[in-house]
């Protein structure tokens, strides 16, 4: 598996059914029902984090914490090596006749370097994994999904009972429903 | 199921919907600047000009235009450095520490507090950088090979620790702030009408769509960054305090400095947050988002940290007496009753005595009074740094080195000028970016508990 999450892109998708919600609780309940009915929800777009939706759509637990730990170890090793090389190996400095070896006075620089490497390393992987790139074309299904609407996107597959799904969405409080095919949306 | 908490007041009042939040908070960005914004911004530019003139004069003539001398080699410059770095701590504290403690009231104030951190650290960095005198070789402070002109840096020196600590703090705070801004920049991208606006906000929103998968990872990355920033914020001011504590100067050589400086930083940082937000909530009509409850919570923290700082002042005095060290005893007696007694008692009045007024609910819930008190706190914290630095240095071990010190016009100009940098940045931030975190606020509208 590559680092980039390819599920985030809407390019080369089959036909999709789009449901628009105003109410978060109704959306969560309906999404849960749809998944229990065997429907595969491609993604849900919300203007704010709605807890529990990731589990409903079957998103896997993120490995970012492990990556952060790896970055921390890298930062710590880099800083320790750097100080040892400069201060002990290459040019030992006699300042106040203090010993030129590992001392607790190295700790602040080692700590700061570790934090810096962890924060930027983890964030870099976060951006990469989530297809967050400066200047990239945003693939929003609805301009209001960053304002006040919650959007459910269901990718259709052969043999799928689209009418039953649309009925479930309507009963579940969807205020609008659309079809999305080849970059064009049609109101149902 | 929607229900109000029986334990707490609503964090957002006025029965706001998600679209109301977008409309209210994005209003200053989507509309033309108001008259009050124009007046404030112009005034900030005037102060920025004062900074420019003072700095040019310093660089052109030399560091001798400051009144620092062989005894008081740190004067207004390092006082101002510690003052601004301290202010810079509240942003990360509000965002990181309160996030870890699941304090949802932080959501209305974290964005502007984080912005304040970044601008305050920029102001702080000006002073040690230009205090170097030959600023064009300032890069010698970085770990560079001997061939670049200096030796390898000294890893035993707290001044070097500062280089690493402040640059890391600035970079990580900027990253934390920017990651927090991405969803809101995307909201503005989808609202703004002008082509330039669409291009700029589109560029910085990085293609954000609000996907559930991204939100899950986003919350995790925010949590880990908060976990990293919390020890970072403690380390930065601890390291600033070791600039003093590792020296042998009476009045500086004390182990209480790290916790005392950290508490002082939070105290002064919250003072500045209160100054900014009491005005912003009124001028920008954010009273439903930054409620009296928020001001109440902030003033409680100001009171607690002010008391911690006050106890530290008294402990220093006690330990000076208890140590039996005549130099230490003299240094503290000189602080309180020597020629700079006025600075010491200003500090005690503003930092220890004045915040005790926040025991009273009226004081915690009256915006104009909180504004005045926040100014008092900032003045007091500036005096604290002045007292620590100048009163300890002006009476050396050798009476022949004893001198008096007061800031020159250039030093005063530089200090006032940093307010120009700070407020110019803040006004630009208030015009082009959402001052309140819209996406987080939308998530607490239902007041779930």
**Residue B97: φ, ψ to 5°:** -65, -45
Say if B239 is an interface residue toward chain A (CB within 8 Å): yes
**Residue B285 has what pLDDT?**
86
Radius of gyration of chain A (CA): 25
d(CA B13, CA B36): 25
Q: Do A8 and B205 touch (CB under 8 A)?
A: no
d(CA A123, CA A102): 31
Which of A6, A32, A46, A129 to mutate: most B Cβ within 10 Å? A46
**Residue A58: φ, ψ to 5°:** 80, 25
Q: Is residue B9 part of a domain?
A: no
**Residue B449 has what pLDDT?**
41
Q: Do A91 and B146 touch (CB under 8 A)?
A: yes
From residue B243, give the alpha-carbon distance in Å to each of B89, B308, B380.
Answer: 17, 21, 21
Place of tokens 């630095």: B389
The answer to whether residues A54 and A48 touch, using CB atoms and an 8 Å cutoff, is: no
From residue B418, give the alpha-carbon distance in Å to each of A120, A160, B58, B61, B386.
Answer: 29, 64, 15, 20, 17
Tell me which chain B residues have a C-beta less than 8 angstroms from the C-beta of A6. none
Sign of CA dihedral B333, B335, B337, B338: positive
- Closest residue on chain A to B176 (Cα): A119
Say if A44 is an interface residue toward chain B (CB within 8 Å): yes
Residue B30 sits in a domain whose CATH number is 1.20.1630.10
- Out of A82, A122, A145, name the one closest to residue B210 (CB): A145
- Using DSSP, state whether A126 is helix, strand or coil: helix
DSSP string, A128-161: HHTT--TTPPP--S-GGGGTT-EEEEEE--TT--
- Out of A25, A44, A62, name the one closest to residue B217 (CB): A62
Tell me which chain B residues have a C-beta less than 8 angstroms from the C-beta of A23. none
**Residue B109: φ, ψ to 5°:** -120, -10
d(CA A129, CA B397): 60
A58: left (phi over 0), alpha (psi -120 to 50) or beta: left
Q: Do A8 and B187 touch (CB under 8 A)?
A: no
User: Mind listing the pLDDT tens digit for each residue in A78-124?
Assistant: 999 999 998 888 888 888 887 777 788 899 999 999 999 999 999 99
The answer to whether residues B347 and B384 touch, using CB atoms and an 8 Å cutoff, is: yes
To the question of domain A6-59+136-187 being in CATH 1.10.3470, the answer is no
Q: Do B446 and A123 touch (CB under 8 A)?
A: no
Q: Which of B141, B136, B131 is nearest to B58 (CA)?
A: B131
Instruction: Tell me the HSE value of A79 on the side-chain side, using a 13 A CA sphere.
Output: 22
Q: Is residue B83 part of a domain?
A: yes
**Residue B335 has what pLDDT?**
93
- Out of A48, A91, A123, name the one closest to residue B439 (CB): A48
Q: Do B171 and A105 touch (CB under 8 A)?
A: no
**Residue A181 has what pLDDT?**
83
User: Which helix (H) or strand (E) is A180 found in, with range?
Assistant: strand A176-181
Say if A24 is an interface residue toward chain B (CB within 8 Å): yes
Q: Do B221 and A123 touch (CB under 8 A)?
A: yes
The answer to whether residues A33 and A170 touch, using CB atoms and an 8 Å cutoff, is: no
B77: distance to nearest CA of chain A, Å? 24
The neighbour count for residue A121, using CB atoms within 10 Å, is: 17
User: Chain B 194-233, CB below 8 Å of chain A: which residues?
Assistant: 202-221, 224-225, 228, 231-232
A with B: how many residue pairs have Cβ under 8 Å apart?
A: 194
A162: distance to nearest CA of chain B, Å? 23
In chain A, domain spans: 6-59+136-187, 64-129
Sort strands A176-181 and A16-21 into parallel, antiparallel or unpaired. antiparallel
Place of tokens 């589990």: A55
Q: Which domain holds residue B64?
A: 18-443
ipTM above 0.90, yes or no: yes
d(CA A112, CA A86): 17
Total residues found in chain B within this entry: 449
**Residue B391 has what pLDDT?**
93
User: Chain A 100-139, CB below 8 Å of chain B: which residues?
Assistant: 103, 105-106, 108-109, 111-113, 115-116, 118-120, 122-123, 126-127, 129-139
Say if B140 is an interface residue toward chain A (CB within 8 Å): no
- Using DSSP, state whether B396 is helix, strand or coil: coil
**Residue A150: φ, ψ to 5°:** -115, 125
B173 class by beta-carbon count within 10 Å (0-12 exposed, 13-18 middle, 19+ buried): buried
List, run by run, the mean pLDDT of 10-residue segments along chain B (449 residues): 64 85 92 91 96 94 90 91 90 82 85 92 92 86 78 88 93 94 94 92 92 93 92 91 91 91 91 91 88 92 94 93 93 94 95 94 94 95 94 90 92 95 94 92 73
**Residue A1 has what pLDDT?**
54
Helices (H), chain A: 24-36, 53-56, 64-83, 107-129, 162-171
Q: Is residue B57 part of a domain?
A: yes
DSSP string, B120-181: HHHHHHHHHHHHTS-GGGGGGGS---GGGSSPPP-TT-HHHHHHHHHHHHHHHHHHHHHHHH
Q: Do B161 and A126 touch (CB under 8 A)?
A: no
């Amino acid at each position: 598996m590559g680092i980039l999450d390819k599920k985030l892109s809407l390019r080369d998708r089959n036909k999709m059914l789009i449901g628009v919600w105003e109410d978060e609780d109704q959306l969560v309940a309906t999404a849960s029902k749809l998944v229990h009915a065997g429907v595969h929800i491609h993604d849900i777009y919300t203007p704010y984090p709605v807890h529990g939706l990731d589990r409903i759509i079957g998103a896997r637990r993120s490995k970012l914490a492990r990556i952060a730990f790896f970055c921390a170890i890298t930062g710590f090793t880099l800083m320790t090596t750097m100080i040892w090389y400069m201060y002990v190996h290459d040019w030992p400095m006699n300042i106040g006749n203090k010993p030129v070896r590992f001392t607790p006075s190295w700790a602040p620089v080692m700590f700061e370097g570790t934090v810096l490497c962890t924060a930027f390393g983890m964030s870099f992987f976060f951006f990469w994994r989530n297809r967050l790139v400066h200047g990239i074309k945003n693939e929003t299904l609805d301009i209001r999904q960053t304002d006040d609407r919650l959007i459910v996107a269901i990718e259709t597959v052969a043999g799928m009972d689209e009418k039953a799904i649309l009925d479930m969405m309507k009963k579940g409080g969807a205020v609008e429903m659309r079809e999305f095919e080849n970059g064009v949306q049609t109101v149902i | 199921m929607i229900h109000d908490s029986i334990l707490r007041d609503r964090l957002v009042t006025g029965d706001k919907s998600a679209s109301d939040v977008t409309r209210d908070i994005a209003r200053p960005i989507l509309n033309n600047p108001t008259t009050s914004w124009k007046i404030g911004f112009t005034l900030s530019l005037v102060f920025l000009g004062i900074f420019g003139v003072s700095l040019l004069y310093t660089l052109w003539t030399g560091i001798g235009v400051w009144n620092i001398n062989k005894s008081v080699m740190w004067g207004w410059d390092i006082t101002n450095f510690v003052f601004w770095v301290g202010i810079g701590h509240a942003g990360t504290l509000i965002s990181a520490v309160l996030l870890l403690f699941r304090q949802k009231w932080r959501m209305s104030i974290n964005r502007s507090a984080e912005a304040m951190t970044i601008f305050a650290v920029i102001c702080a960095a000006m002073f040690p950088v230009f205090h170097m005198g030959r600023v064009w070789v300032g890069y010698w402070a970085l770990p560079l090979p001997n061939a670049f002109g200096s030796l390898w840096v000294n890893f035993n020196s707290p001044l070097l620790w500062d280089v690493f600590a402040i640059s890391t703090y600035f970079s990580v705070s900027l990253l934390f702030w920017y990651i927090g801004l991405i969803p809101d920049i995307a909201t503005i991208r989808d609202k703004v009408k002008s082509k330039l606006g669409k291009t700029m906000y589109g560029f910085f929103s990085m293609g954000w769509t609000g996907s559930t998968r991204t939100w899950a990872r986003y919350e995790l990355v925010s949590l880990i960054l908060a976990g990293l920033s919390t020890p970072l914020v403690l380390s930065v001011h601890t390291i600033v305090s070791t600039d003093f504590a590792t020296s042998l100067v009476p009045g500086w050589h004390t182990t209480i400095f790290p916790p005392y400086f950290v508490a002082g930083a939070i105290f002064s940082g919250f003072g500045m947050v209160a100054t900014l937000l009491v005005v912003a909530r009124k001028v920008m009509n954010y009273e439903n988002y930054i409620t009296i409850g928020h001001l109440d919570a902030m003033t409680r923290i100001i009171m607690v940290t002010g008391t911690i700082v006050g106890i530290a002042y008294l402990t220093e005095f006690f330990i000076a007496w208890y140590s039996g060290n005549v130099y230490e005893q003299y240094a503290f007696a000189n602080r309180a009753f020597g020629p700079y007694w006025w600075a010491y008692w200003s500090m005690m009045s503003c930092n220890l005595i004045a915040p005790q007024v926040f025991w009273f609910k009226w004081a915690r819930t009256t915006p104009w009074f909180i504004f005045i008190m926040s100014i008092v706190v900032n003045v007091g914290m500036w005096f604290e740094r002045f007292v620590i630095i100048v009163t300890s240095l002006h009476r050396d071990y050798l009476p022949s080195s004893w001198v008096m010190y007061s800031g020159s016009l250039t030093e005063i100009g530089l200090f006032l000028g940093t307010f120009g940098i700070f407020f110019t940045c803040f006004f630009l931030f208030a015009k082009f970016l959402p001052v309140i975190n819209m996406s987080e606020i939308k998530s607490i509208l239902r007041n779930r508990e």
